Amino acid sequence: MGKLATLQGGATRTGAMSTLGAPSILWKAFDVLGAFRADRRVLTFAEVSRASGLPKSTTHRVLAMLLEMGAVERHGHGYRIGLRIFAMGSCSAEVALRDVALPVLQEVHRVTRQTVHLAVLRSGDVVYIEKLRTRVTLPTPAVVGERLPAHCTAIGKSLLTTRAVADMVRAPLPARTRRSIVDPAILQRELALSRSRGFAVDREECVDGLACLAVPIHAHGVAVAGVSVAFPAAAGNGEVMISTLRTAAARIGRALPATLVAGLCADEGADEAAVAGQ
């Protein structure tokens, strides 16, 4: 997925050890856990081995370890993520952000009657924290807990406007549709425009037929997340919803405690939000 995607993990493997010194078994455990997704909640042994890319003997050994730890549980003839992983995930700053934001997102959903997203920026991608669906508009590719290239989404571009992104927008940028921006110079101009008007736009850059508007959520002087509304591109520019988005972002930002903001900003130096002064 190009430069943006290569940054998302923050570390790479080198032989039996990672660049951060993690042993091989830890990487393999994450390979197994990473085999499970929102559309693959229960997997057979063969499916885990295939999705993780590990040999069956290694998969068997790692699964046994994860079962003993409660990180994975048996489910019929297959396996699923265990409650221990769920409990650990619930301690994340992103879950706390979602809990604070949810009542406001529900209000945006009620007013706009469109799909509403909450996401954070991580190494050139956006990671979705919440998604409130609607049957009125087209399906969106966003999945809670998963990533999309930031430059292809309105919510991603709204957050890129708050960062010093020179190192994250180098060619080649991956395309999802024929309208995706793949030229870093064009993207920089788009980000400058988004920064000046206070909101970002995606016109069929992520999915054909789908448009999106987004604004960043600022708290204690830092952009910690973004909120967006997705709607059919044929329905117009959607700018009637910008005021609702701005109000929602401001309400969420005011409700976030400083301690939570510090946790959300721990990744990739997000406290460089001073780009707003550019």
Q: What count of Cα atoms within 13 Å lies in the side-chain half-sphere of residue 39? A: 5
Which residues lie closer than 8 Å to 48 by C-beta, 6 or more apart?
32, 35, 59, 63, 79
Rounded CA-CA distance 213/242 in Å is 7
pLDDT digits (tens, 9 = 90+) for 10-30: 444 544 445 555 568 899 999
In the chain the domains, ranked by start, together with CATH numbers, are 9-89 (1.10.10.10), 93-277 (3.30.450.40)
pLDDT at 22: 54
Q: How far is CA 213 from the centre of its chain?
A: 16
Rounded CA-CA distance 216/267 in Å is 17
pTM for this predicted structure? 0.81
pLDDT at 3: 34
**pLDDT tens track, the chain, 278 positions:** 333 333 333 444 544 445 555 568 899 999 999 999 888 899 999 999 999 999 999 999 999 999 999 999 999 999 999 999 999 988 889 999 999 999 999 999 999 999 999 999 998 899 999 999 987 667 889 999 999 999 999 999 999 998 876 666 666 788 999 999 999 889 999 999 999 999 999 999 999 999 999 999 999 999 999 999 999 999 999 989 999 999 999 999 999 999 899 888 865 544 344 333 33
Rounded CA-CA distance 210/202 in Å is 8
Picking from 248, 251, 253, the residue whose alpha carbon sits closest to that of residue 220 is 253
**In the beta sheet, which residues pair with residue 18?**
13
